[in-house]
């Protein structure tokens, strides 16, 4: 247990919160390693299995554990962008939300946090994920957007409650500015800047692989640079954003083969901003172009209807204004989606290769991302199809 940094006293704290009582006996605890090296970059995942006696009955409970990556470069990067601090902070906020009777059913329960260790509810017995490189269908989009609406509503309602308590306008970022800023886009640390620059350079190399057609590569890249300098538009509704809404950060409960409820995971890159940004990134990251042409309006309206149910209609923009505001964010959402896809859709054999050494992993993250993106594009059909469509759609959006 020492290698994961969890002690007997820590496990007692987990049980105390899980059972809502300190009248129990801890009988055993152990780590079960279920780590899948192809499922993510930020850290290591484990199961914590605790045996206990409560009210004269024996019990056993599994919990989900996250720890720092064993790769020193990823570990350093995680610390710089404060992923563990952000998640611990957010689960603490959820406790405050709950005390204000705000619906937090969109998230798992959080049980224990200490530096670079997170212990939360294990949902795997009831909720399941979708395959890593499969985009969402309509049903998965609908339930996921319902969870996202609850997530957004929770911080907005909390601000309303605090404003009423304080008899003045309250904004949560005023108290927690450091933890709610975008560490990847607004961090002065050279390592974070190198990660973002490597991502952009990988995108530029992808552009060179696509036939020029009516737009030259140079014009394409010049136009992209102009858009990056302009930044995001102003939105209509602000709150805490998730900002990492790819398919693997949702789990789903099924009935008769269809998702009926979704849970939102991984609050390690939260930030404060306009909710339309999350909506645009969700749609661009998790659905294909043809699907969006047929369903985007329906999905945004479904999200907004659920948000309105959580918040009430008073003071909210009209549905038409909200649809337009979301549309204004689609270009920024497309760029973020492409950067996400260069990670999440990369071929498994390429990913295994870059994990072979600390040096190759460092180059993949910060120096030579384009090299592996091009290799994956040339070798893996699913990666090629996704990124080819991404780049063509981005080109069309920039020059429409």
Report pLDDT for 76: 85
- pTM for the full predicted model: 0.94
Q: Over the stretch 99-148, which tens digit does the pLDDT of each residue have?
A: 999 999 999 999 999 999 999 999 999 999 999 889 999 999 999 999 99
CA distances from 135 to 17, 186, 344, 368 (A): 36, 30, 11, 27
Q: DSSP class of residue 247?
A: G
The residue segments making up the domain with residue 113 are: 1-122
| 348 band by pLDDT with thresholds 50, 70 and 90 | confident
Report pLDDT for 295: 98
Q: Rounded to whole angstroms, how far apart are CA atoms 54 and 143? A: 36
Average pLDDT over residues 50-56: 96
Report pLDDT for 60: 96
Share of the chain above pLDDT 70, in %: 95
Tell whether 26 is covered by a domain.
yes
Q: How many residues does the chain have?
A: 400
Please give the tally of structural domains in the chain.
Answer: 1
Q: Is the pLDDT of residue 41 over 70?
A: no
Residues 6+ apart with CB under 8 A from 232: 273, 274, 277, 329, 332
Tell whether 63 is covered by a domain.
yes
CA distances from 197 to 123, 190, 201, 339, 365 (A): 36, 10, 6, 11, 10
User: Interhelix angle for 330-344 vs 275-286, to 10°?
Assistant: 50
In terms of Cα–Cα distance, which of 104, 46, 47 is closest to 267?
104
Share of the chain above pLDDT 90, in %: 70
Q: Six-digit token pair at 257?
A: 């083969």
Q: Rounded to whole angstroms, how far apart are CA atoms 101 and 294? A: 37
The string over 134-168, giving b where at least 16 C-beta atoms fall within 10 Å of a residue's C-beta and e elsewhere, is: ebbeeebbbbbbbbbbbbbbbbbbbbbbbeeeeee
Report pLDDT for 38: 44
Tell whether 108 is covered by a domain.
yes
| 278 band by pLDDT with thresholds 50, 70 and 90 | very high
Say if CB 182 and CB 81 are below 8 A apart. Answer: no
Tell whether 277 is covered by a domain.
no
Tell whether 374 is covered by a domain.
no
Question: What's the gap between Cα 282 and its chain centre?
Answer: 9
Average pLDDT over residues 275-279: 98
Q: Is the pLDDT of residue 276 over 80?
A: yes
β-pair type (238-241, 271-274): antiparallel
Average pLDDT over residues 357-361: 82
Between 230 and 265, the higher pLDDT residue? 265
Q: Is the pLDDT of residue 2 over 50?
A: no
Q: Rounded to whole angstroms, how far apart are CA atoms 82 and 187? A: 11
Average pLDDT over residues 59-67: 95
Q: Is the pLDDT of residue 338 over 50?
A: yes
Please name the residue ranges forming H helices in 232-329.
275-286, 289-311, 319-328
Q: Is the pLDDT of residue 362 over 70?
A: yes
Question: What's the gap between Cα 312 and its chain centre?
Answer: 26
Q: Is the pLDDT of residue 294 over 70?
A: yes
Phi, psi of 51 (to 5 degrees): -100, 145
Q: Rounded to whole angstroms, how far apart are CA atoms 393 and 390? A: 5
CA dihedral 11, 16, 22, 26 (to 10 degrees): -30
Q: Over the stretch 158-210, which tens digit does the pLDDT of each residue have?
A: 999 999 999 999 999 999 999 999 988 766 667 777 877 888 888 899 899 88
Tell whether 16 is covered by a domain.
yes
Give the least confident one: 201-210, 249-258, 316-325: 201-210
Tell whether 18 is covered by a domain.
yes
Q: Six-digit token pair at 169?
A: 């306008």
Tell whether 218 is covered by a domain.
no
Give the least confident one: 5-9, 57-61, 148-152, 210-214: 210-214
Average model confidence (pLDDT) across the chain: 91
| 1 band by pLDDT with thresholds 50, 70 and 90 | very low
Report pLDDT for 345: 87
């Amino acid at each position: 247990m020492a290698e994961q940094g969890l002690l007997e006293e820590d496990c007692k704290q987990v049980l105390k919160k899980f059972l809502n009582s300190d009248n129990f006996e801890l009988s055993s605890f152990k780590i079960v390693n279920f780590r899948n090296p192809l499922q993510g970059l930020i850290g290591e995942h484990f199961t914590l299995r605790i045996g206990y006696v409560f009210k004269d009955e024996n019990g056993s409970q599994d919990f989900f554990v996250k720890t720092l990556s064993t790769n020193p470069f990823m570990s350093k990067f995680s610390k710089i962008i404060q992923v563990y601090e952000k998640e611990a902070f957010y689960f603490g906020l959820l406790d405050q939300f709950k005390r204000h009777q705000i619906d937090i059913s969109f998230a798992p329960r959080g049980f224990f946090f200490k530096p670079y260790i997170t212990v939360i509810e294990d949902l795997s017995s009831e909720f399941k994920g979708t395959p890593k490189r499969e985009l969402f269908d309509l049903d998965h989009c609908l339930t996921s957007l319902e969870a996202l609406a609850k997530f957004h509503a929770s911080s907005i309602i909390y601000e309303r409650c605090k404003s009423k308590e304080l008899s003045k306008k309250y904004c949560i970022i005023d108290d927690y500015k450091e933890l709610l800023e975008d560490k990847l886009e607004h961090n002065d640390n050279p390592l974070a800047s190198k990660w973002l620059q490597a991502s952009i350079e990988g995108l530029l190399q992808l552009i060179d692989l696509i036939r020029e057609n009516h737009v030259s590569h140079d014009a394409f890249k010049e136009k992209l640079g102009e858009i990056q300098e302009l930044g995001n538009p102003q939105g209509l509704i602000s709150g805490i954003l998730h900002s990492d809404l790819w398919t693997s950060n949702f789990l789903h409960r099924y009935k008769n083969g269809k998702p009926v409820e979704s849970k939102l995971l991984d609050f390690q890159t939260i930030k404060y901003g306009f909710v339309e940004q999350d909506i645009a990134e969700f749609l661009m990251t998790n659905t294909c172009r043809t699907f969006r042409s047929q369903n985007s309006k329906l999905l945004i309206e479904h999200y907004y209807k659920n948000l309105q149910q959580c918040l009430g209609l008073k003071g909210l923009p009209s549905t038409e204004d909200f649809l337009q505001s979301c549309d204004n964010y689609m270009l920024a959402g497309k760029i973020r989606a492409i950067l996400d896809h260069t990670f999440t859709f990369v071929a498994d054999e390429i990913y295994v290769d870059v994990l072979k050494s600390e040096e190759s992993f460092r180059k993949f993250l910060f120096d030579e991302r384009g090299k592996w993106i091009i290799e994956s594009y040339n070798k893996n059909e699913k990666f090629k199809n996704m990124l080819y469509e991404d780049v063509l759609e981005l080109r069309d959006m920039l020059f429409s």
